[in-house]
Amino acid sequence: MPVEAPSAEKLLDMYARMWRIRLFEEQAEYQSSQGKVMGALHTYIGEEGVAVPICAHLQDTDYITSTHRGHGHCIAKGADISRMMAELFGRSTGYCKGKGGSMHIADFKVGMLGANGIVAGGFGLATGAGLAAQLRGSGQVAVCFFGDGAANRGPFHENINIGAVWKLPVVYVCENNQFAQWTPQKDVTLVTDIANMSPAYGIPGVQVDGMDPLAVYEAAGEAIERARRGEGPTLLECKTYRFHGHNFGDPQQYRTREEIAEWSDNRDPIKQLAAHMRDAGLLSDEQDADIQNTVQEEITAAVRFAESSPYPTPDELYKDVYSYDIG
Amino acid sequence: MPKKSMRDALREALHEEMERDDSIIVLGEDVIAHGGPYAVTRGIDEKFPGRIRQTPISEAGIVGTALGAALCGMRPVAEVMYVDFATCAMDEVVNQMAKVRYMFGGQTDVPVVLRLPSGSARLLAAQHSQCLEAWFLHVPGLQVVVPSTAYDAKGLLKTALRGKDPVLFMEYKRLYTNESEVPDEDYAIPFGQADVKREGRDVTIVATGPMVPKALEAADLLAPEGIDVEVVDTRTLVPFDKAAVFASVEKTNRVIVTDEEVKRGGTSAEIASLIAEECFDALDAPVKRLAAAEVPMPFSPELEKLVVPKTEHLVAATRELVG
Ligand SMILES: Cc1ncc(C[n+]2csc(CCOP(=O)(O)OP(=O)(O)O)c2C)c(N)n1
Ligand SMILES: [Mg+2]
């Protein structure tokens, strides 16, 4: 069954979400430069065209797992940016009461099972989410976002095999941005097209241009429908590129300015979606400006919320270690 | 004597030993690019081409490969980017590396060094801030080393690189920039020799790694009150220099054991119980332990600062013990 093209309304929503990720993270980097956001900060800027169109197929009852580069997944799945910002600021109003920080934001209410500081930490969680959905017969699906680097860890193999043999409703999405921290993928992996690993697990492998949100939308739609029909997992590879460093402050000696510009000037997924919507008469200049202004206001409000929120009090230290209080 | 940072001292040890012994090789994630996140392996690729391998993100593969090469004539040094990720290679460390010599009746040497950046720094939260010494000291067959100064780091790494048994070398991230006097001449510090970093009569503080500088600070703060603190730096946990610790306790009759690990089941528990078992008669007061709160490391700076013992806690504990 061909995937229906996204409605005008859906496209506008996707477009706004992509801006929300971009502007949220630009703000987070600024706040980091001011010393207000501390700890590691890995941005998704440039990769918005992956998570947003994929999550556009999901309901709050569906699950995703994420990575150390998790803000984009959170926003795409519908997390509240004020609580995200408060988490980055280490405040008690943050998603994790300030206990997690950038690498550990989760919102279980919208099925976001957590950013993860351990590369490949999400494979088991997504596979287990798929098992729970299958056992309940609920029609829910789980999407596992992971990097090209994560494909070199054991959990990739173990969990995709389990998901495949049990026909679990999981889509394994490789965000192949061609680098793992400072290491180019080709230096550490001969099969650089991760989708080509799918025959080893007996499941479909699909490769798509991750900078083209509509192509991702279509490919993800098929994979998610297949999972919902009970036909098992798909390995969906999105070729993409992060425009900023591995983390904020990365000197980026492993790639050239020209290479970065090549991607950010010519293949920016936000620009590509805008161009498509303009061509289709679905985005006027006013609407575009409106969307960006509204998102900018949300971000400003998020920072105000974070800054005016209290830090966790010392008694929080021993809470949440177990379901019961220790002390 | 020139002053050097712990980072530079470790780098010197690696370069000098690689010069001396061509069976030494280095492997790990991003170890060529920038010399790893803590720049310890910087410069090796230029000076020793072919002897440093930048690996995929495959901790089990890295440690397993290092072990296999060690069984077949090489002397690998594997950097695991954060000790937290050594948990991704627990089979290789615990079931393989620790066991091969004994299980195979002593047929093989196992000269592997795992370099393991440890502890909290820069608010990296629960999965990048752990101190796992106790996990490994529990396993017969592994040696565990925790340097507290640049001088000790260099001398201990040299011994690790000349030895025949696996070494888990804990590098506390917050200590990388700490400087101390490090001679240019070759030296090595044998394992199993604790170091009395400060002599004193009234109380012994047995400290590991990052607690050593704090213990020395506490000693300075307490001196004007007439409390004379002796600071014993364990330096290696396996093998462990019981004699040095007991000698100090026999002199001062009061002891605090401190590390940055979670207190429950931590190194301080092991050391305190050794003292209680074998040195009880020397004690004028129960052994005190100061270690980290029994929680995963929280992110928020307002919570993180509550987790690990500070100088002021050592000062207060010492006053209590002599009071
Ligand atoms: C098990 C483990 N090993 C190493 C790291 C350190 N680390 C964090 S992110 C990263 C690179 C991840 O690359 P990839 O999976 O491609 O994701 P990307 O950063 O490109 O989004 C590394 C090596 C880690 N967090 N966990
Ligand atoms: Mg990558």
Average pLDDT, whole number, for chain B? 98
Angle between the B311-322 and B211-222 helix axes, to the nearest 10 degrees? 50
| DSSP states of B107-125 | ------EEEEEES--TT--
| DSSP states of B78-95 | EE-SSGGGGGGGHIIIII
Q: Are A195 and A207 in contact (CB under 8 A)?
A: yes
- Enter the tokens of residue B84: 């937290």
Summarised one tens digit per residue, pLDDT across range B293-303 is 999 999 999 99
Q: Are B86 and B59 in contact (CB under 8 A)?
A: yes
CB-CB neighbors (< 8 A) of B30 in chain A: 181-183
CA A70, CA A129: separation in Å to the nearest integer?
A: 18
Pocket test for ligand 1, best of A119, A174, A237, A240 (most atoms within 8 A of CB): A119
What residues does B236 pair with on adjacent strands? B145
B92 and chain A: CB distance < 8 Å anywhere? no
Put simply, the chain B residues between 116 and 145 with a CB less than 8 A from any chain A CB are 122-128
Residue A199 placed within a domain: yes
Domain B195-322 sits in CATH at 3.40.50.920
CA A27, CA A89: separation in Å to the nearest integer?
A: 12
> B123 in the Ramachandran plot: left (φ > 0), alpha (ψ -120 to 50) or beta?
left
User: What is the block-wise mean pLDDT of chain A (327 residues), using blocks of 10 residues?
Assistant: 92 98 98 96 98 98 98 98 98 98 98 98 98 98 98 98 98 98 98 98 98 98 98 98 97 96 98 98 98 98 98 97 92
**Ligand minimally distant from the alpha carbon of residue A247:** 1
Q: Are B110 and B156 in contact (CB under 8 A)?
A: no
Most A CBs within 10 Å, among B38, B122, B302, B308, to test the A interface:
B302
CB-CB neighbors (< 8 A) of A153 in chain B: 57-60, 88
Q: What are phi and psi of A92, to 5 degrees?
A: -70, -15
Q: Do B122 and A104 touch (CB under 8 A)?
A: no
A100 and chain B: CB distance < 8 Å anywhere? yes
CATH of the domain at A27: 3.40.50.970
A253 and chain B: CB distance < 8 Å anywhere? yes
Helix residue ranges, H only, chain B: 6-20, 44-47, 59-71, 90, 100-103, 133-137, 150-162, 211-222, 242-252, 267-278, 301-304, 311-322
User: What's the number of CA atoms in the CB half-sphere (13 Å) around residue B191?
Assistant: 23
CATH topology of domain B3-181: Rossmann fold (3.40.50)
Angle between the B150-162 and B6-20 helix axes, to the nearest 10 degrees? 30
Say what the alpha-carbon torsion angle B14, B16, B21, B23 is, to the nearest 10 degrees: 20
- Cβ of A245 closer than 6 Å to ligand 1, yes or no, is no
Pocket test for ligand 1, best of A21, A66, A68 (most atoms within 8 A of CB): A68
CB-CB neighbors (< 8 A) of A101 in chain B: 123, 125, 299-300
- Residue with structure tokens 């129960």? B286
Does this model's pTM top 0.90? My answer is yes
**Ligand minimally distant from the alpha carbon of residue A69:** 1
Range of A114's domain? 8-305
Summarised one tens digit per residue, pLDDT across range B220-249 is 999 999 999 999 999 999 999 999 999 999
Residues with CB under 5 Å of ion ligand 2 are: A 147-149, 177, 180
- Residue B12, pLDDT > 80, answer yes
Closest partner residue to B299 among A90, A116, A189, by Cβ? Answer: A90
Q: Are A169 and A134 in contact (CB under 8 A)?
A: yes
CA B57, CA A115: separation in Å to the nearest integer?
A: 18
At A17 the pLDDT is 98
Burial class (CB in 10 A: 0-12, 13-18, 19+), A17: buried
* Sign, Cα dihedral of A171, A175, A181, A186: positive
- Cβ of A192 closer than 6 Å to ligand 1, yes or no, is no
User: Is B293 in a helix, a strand, or coil?
Assistant: coil
Displacement of CA A260 from its chain's centroid (Å)? 20
Q: Where are the domains of chain B?
A: 3-181, 195-322
- Cβ of A152 closer than 6 Å to ligand 1, yes or no, is no
Number of domains in chain A: 1
| Per-residue buried b or exposed e for B256-266, using 16+ beta carbons within 10 Å of the residue's own CB | bbbbbbbbeeb
To the query of whether residue B128 is one of the catalytic residues in this protein, the response is: yes
- Residue B279, pLDDT > 90, answer yes
Residues of chain B above pLDDT 70, percent: 100
B235 and chain A: CB distance < 8 Å anywhere? no
Residue type at A308 in one-letter notation: S
| DSSP states of A243-272 | SS-SSTT---TTS-HHHHHHHHHH--HHHH
What is the predicted ipTM? 0.96
Q: What is the interface size between A and B, counted as CB pairs within 8 Å? A: 125
Q: Do B300 and A317 touch (CB under 8 A)?
A: no
Confidence of residue B323 (pLDDT cuts 50, 70, 90): confident
> By CA distance, what is B127's nearest residue in A?
A117
Closest CA to A92 of A321, A305, A327, A324: A305
Q: Are A167 and A135 in contact (CB under 8 A)?
A: no
Q: Are A128 and A169 in contact (CB under 8 A)?
A: no
- Cβ of A118 closer than 6 Å to ligand 1, yes or no, is yes
Residue A158 placed within a domain: yes
Tell me the average pLDDT across B132-147.
Answer: 98
- Cβ of A15 closer than 6 Å to ligand 1, yes or no, is no
Pocket test for ligand 1, best of B30, B31, B79, B81 (most atoms within 8 A of CB): B81
Q: Do A99 and B124 touch (CB under 8 A)?
A: no
CA B240, CA A207: separation in Å to the nearest integer?
A: 55
- Residue with structure tokens 């956001």? A37
CA A12, CA B231: separation in Å to the nearest integer?
A: 66
CA B282, CA B247: separation in Å to the nearest integer?
A: 10
The rounded Å distance from CA A271 to ligand 2 centre is 22
CA A88, CA A75: separation in Å to the nearest integer?
A: 14
CB-CB neighbors (< 8 A) of B299 in chain A: 39, 87, 90, 96, 98-101, 104
Q: Are B309 and B292 in contact (CB under 8 A)?
A: yes
